[in-house]
Structure 1
Amino acid sequence: MATVLALTTSPFPASRTALLAEHTAACQRVRGHHTHVLALRDRPAAPLLTADTHHASIARALRLAAEVDSPVVATPIHQAACSGLLKTFLDLLPQHAFTGKPVLPLATGGSPAHVLALDYALRPVLTALGAHVTQGRFVLDRHIMTAPDGTTALDHDDELQLGRAIEQFARTLPSHAHLTAV
């Protein structure tokens, strides 16, 4: 089965974007894929912002992102763009880090006015890295909740639409993993 990395890029500890990414990773685990969740907010800021790719934490994150079969990239939309944390991290990856890899873009935001940022702000960056960008999904923040049992719950319509995007993404995943050590 494939190895999938859910990359969460919200700078906030209590992040609905992270909940969405973790929910998506859980859906991939149910399908038998190996998953990792990487919260960029947990990486040290100074080495990330100064492009210190030799810093152990940054080097591990970059290696993981480059070695997985398929990334899921989840970002909040602020000011009609993906998070600066995501862009900073993606800028550190080699130019063709995602060549031939299916990538599922996910975005969250407070207003339906942000929905176009998925295609106009995030998709071009992922495409520049060589990704095969699958149909993504934008989810309003207010439609992502934590259920009483601690799992993530989405608005019914968003759950259906996200399920379709995840299913399409799952069909593009390789049937074997090539990641040997993380």
Structure 2
Amino acid sequence: MNKVTIISGSPTEITRLNGVHHEILNHFNGIGITPEIINVRQLPSEALIQAKFDSKEIIEANKKVENANIIVILTPVYKASFSGVLKTYLDLLPQSGLEGKTILPIAVGGTFGHLLMIDYSLKPVLSALGAAHILKGTFILDNQIKKLENNRYELDSEVKSRLVSSLNSIKPSLLTV
């Protein structure tokens, strides 16, 4: 069984969310865990838009979720909610697809006005999919992520600290065989 699956709900390849994703990968790699990755934007758009549950790529992505104990969900904030591309993928998970999973939601948005997006927009959808153990999560302002060259990003120290704290809130027993 895979221990961790990261679902990245960014519709674009060049995004500040990549800086957060990189920090999360470094954290898990540092404790000897190689997470499975689902970049929703890389799934076939036809399968997502037309709800093709039988698509080979959707079945493979859903298997990564099924085999994980921990699901980290990354999303940008658009119109005070999570990304539409993430929603189209979540719609293709089985009705109880997140049952028994520990979920860590992480969002990047442009203003603190969207701070409650995780609680009021994302968590109800995750709960509808059977998630009962949803961790507090982390909301990050996009101006706390410095854009470097070559699609690289640097998180400011306060964000790194909050992100590590969120990642450390995952029970160690869920990370071991």
Q: TM-score, normalised by structure 2?
A: 0.90
Shifted more, 25-34 versus 79-88: the winner is 25-34
Show CA shifts across 1:21-52 (max 9, x none): 23212211211223122211111111111111
1:88 partner letter: T
CA distance 1:26–1:146, shift in 2 (3 Å): farther
Q: What's 2:115 paired with?
A: 115
Report the Cα distance in structure 2 between the residues aligned to 1:170 and 1:74, rounded to whole angstroms: 19
Q: How many residues align?
A: 176
Q: Is 1:13 the equivalent of 2:25?
A: no
Question: Which portions of structure 1, spanning 4 or more consecutive aligned residues, are displaced by more than 4 angstroms?
Answer: 146-152
Q: Is 1:162 the equivalent of 2:170?
A: no
Task: Give the match's secondary structure for 1:51.
Answer: coil
Gaps of 5+ in 1: 177-182
Q: What's 2:144 paired with?
A: 143
Q: What's 1:69 paired with?
A: 69
Task: Give the match's secondary structure for 1:126.
Answer: helix
Shifted more, 64-73 versus 18-27: the winner is 18-27
2:137 partner letter: G
Q: Is 1:91 the equivalent of 2:97?
A: no
Q: What is the correspondence of 1:22-41 to structure 2 with a 5 Å cutoff?
A: 22-41=22-41
Q: Percent identity?
A: 32
2:29 partner letter: R
Q: What's 1:51 paired with?
A: 51
Report the Cα distance in structure 2 between the residues aligned to 1:133 and 1:29, rounded to whole angstroms: 22
- How far did 1:57 drift? 1.5
Gaps of 5+ in 2: none
2:33 partner letter: H
